[in-house]
Chains A and B, each alone.
Chain A
Amino acid sequence: MSEHRRLGAEALLDLVAEAFKGEIAPSLPPDKRYLAAMIGNALDIARREMAVEEEALAFQLLDHFYDDGDGTMQELARVIRSGTVNDTSYPELRARLKAHVASELKVRNPRFLGTRGVKG
């Protein structure tokens, strides 16, 4: 049942974004265009986040450093700052972090990745 409700919300957001960007935004006066662009952007992010939760992306990163379910982003940030986890102790550190950032960008701003030559 919860599965259907999620799909319903996603489909609704999809329609709202389409109607807003296709029919409402173009008819707004110039001084509202920036706000309209922000609303369209926010709707798109919300829609993508319903399909991929950022919490799941964080666990994908944390699983490389901690036993299953252990560790938090706060803890990982702390040990990187303290130097306990670094390029020497973990040679793939930068690559893992970059992959995580890319996974967040696929939700928050896939167009950005395109400008950096990464497929969204």
Chain B
Amino acid sequence: MAQAMDDKVSTGRRMLEPGGFVVLEPWLASEIGAERVAIVGAALLAGGAVQQNWRLDAEVTGGARAGRHAWVLRTDAAASLDVSLDRLSEFRCIEAAHKAGVKVAEPIAASGDSGLIGRPFAIQALVAGNAQGRRIVRDPALVEFGEDLAREIGRELARIHSVRPKAGVLSFLPIPMTNPSRREVAAMRKGLDGASEARPALEYVLSWLDANAPEPPAITLVHGDFRTGNYMVEKGQLTAVLDWEFCHWGDPREDIGWFIARCWRFGNDDKVAGGIAKLASLLEGYNGVADIKLTASELPYFEVLAAARWATISLLQGDRFIKGGERSLELALTGLMPPEMEWDALDVIDRLVTKGRVT
């Protein structure tokens, strides 16, 4: 429920004063072409380690959006990961995806200016649904909706991958000039160079990825963090794809590998598609919409890439505690996770080598 506007709530960097969002009203009116916008309620929602989410209740007078709206304002992170997009760039990616027909919370407005409420932010429509990965994969009704949900997710991924680099489209995102998988490996190595702990197993996996990188079928928009836990589900239906801050141009199979990686199945290991369904259902949905047709046999490489990436990110998350001084038990425990992903990556490599598919 919306809390009273005279509450003082910490944004992490500063305390918002009573009616702290009132300063947004004239700006929002201008952004959405309204005569007037009144913020009549604001409440801090449960957030993650990376950003804060506020529910805003707004009354809009005049213009195409006249009426009462529930929106979500997401601030920039207090300590953004180096590899993630700033809030305004992420918002532009969401707009591009929305235009391509991807189910996202409708983008309303965004600002890269810290002058308005103390940090950059983006506002999107509030969408009903649950995004908690563990709850989704343990839902007793999953047996009824899981396969259809995976097909829908496949179609959403295909729509994301229909966005291609061309003049005027997300031109702030760098286009890979070399193999995009090798570019990912290089980025991970760069991250590991500054890490507090050396991981020989992870270095081995990265060397393997570098040596076996396949050529991309096309360079497409890649969500970069599309996994169970980053989409909303309401009554078994997908309502919105979330968390676009890792969006980039790359190999579309990177998204599929991330979605099916064992570390994102939340214990439902036999349901390869994100812990919710069979891989065949995901691919059926994807291939039904995409101009690029994918097969299961080309995906293990990208499962290894996903495991290496999550191992690297988790190690660096731990460093936010070890080196950055952020007193967070969650960050500290995340920093202990790399061996889990290293194990999974080495296991996939073992299977591929045994089958004689790679060296």
A102 smallest CB distance to B (angstroms): 7
Which residues of A from 55 to 92 have beta carbons under 8 Å from B?
A: 61, 72-74, 76-78, 80-81, 83, 86-87
B358 smallest CB distance to A (angstroms): 11
Smallest CB gap from A41: residue in B: B333
Number of residues from A at the complex interface, CB < 8 A: 33
Per-position binary interface string of chain A over residues 92-113, scored 1 when its CB falls under 8 Å from any chain B CB and 0 otherwise: 0110011011101100110011
B139 smallest CB distance to A (angstroms): 17
Return the contact of A105 from the options B267, B330, B332, B340 (Cβ within 8 A): B340
Q: Is the Cβ of B342 less than 8 Å from the Cβ of A101?
A: yes
A104: B residues at CB distance < 8 A: 339
Interface: B36 (CB within 8 A): no
A113 to B340, CA, bound (A): 8
A80 to B207, CA, bound (A): 8
Q: Is the Cβ of B269 less than 8 Å from the Cβ of A105?
A: no
Q: Is the Cβ of B343 less than 8 Å from the Cβ of A112?
A: yes
Q: Is the Cβ of B267 less than 8 Å from the Cβ of A81?
A: no
Interface: A25 (CB within 8 A): no
Number of residues from B at the complex interface, CB < 8 A: 30
A61 to B337, CA, bound (A): 19
Return the contact of A77 from the options B200, B269, B336, B349 (Cβ within 8 A): B200
Given A45-B336, A80-B204, check contact A87 B359 (CB 8 Å).
yes
Q: Is the Cβ of A97 less than 8 Å from the Cβ of B269?
A: no
A104 to B339, CA, bound (A): 7
Per-position binary interface string of chain A over residues 5-28, scored 1 when its CB falls under 8 Å from any chain B CB and 0 otherwise: 000000000000000000000000
Which residues of B from 335 to 356 have beta carbons under 8 Å from A?
A: 336-337, 339-340, 342-344, 346-347, 349-350
Which residues of B from 152 to 197 have beta carbons under 8 Å from A?
A: 189, 192, 197
A69 to B142, CA, bound (A): 53
Interface: B203 (CB within 8 A): yes
Task: Tell me the dominant secondary structure on chain A's binding face.
Answer: helix
Interface: B45 (CB within 8 A): no
A61: B residues at CB distance < 8 A: 200
Q: Is the Cβ of B269 less than 8 Å from the Cβ of A115?
A: yes
B359: A residues at CB distance < 8 A: 87
A112 to B202, CA, bound (A): 18
Interface: B199 (CB within 8 A): yes
Given A87-B359, A105-B340, check contact A94 B269 (CB 8 Å).
no
Interface: A116 (CB within 8 A): yes
Smallest CB gap from B206: residue in A: A81
Q: Is the Cβ of A93 less than 8 Å from the Cβ of B329?
A: no
Smallest CB gap from A45: residue in B: B336
Return the contact of A101 from the options B189, B346, B350 (Cβ within 8 A): B346
Q: Is the Cβ of B198 less than 8 Å from the Cβ of A76?
A: yes
**Max chain B C-beta neighbours (<10 A), residue from A42, A45, A81, A112:** A81
A83: B residues at CB distance < 8 A: 207
Return the contact of B203 from the options A45, A77, A109 (Cβ within 8 A): A77
A-B residue pairs, 3 tightest by C-beta: A77-B198, A74-B198, A73-B198
6 CB contacts below 8 A, A to B, read A38-B329, A45-B336, A77-B202, A98-B346, A101-B346, A116-B343
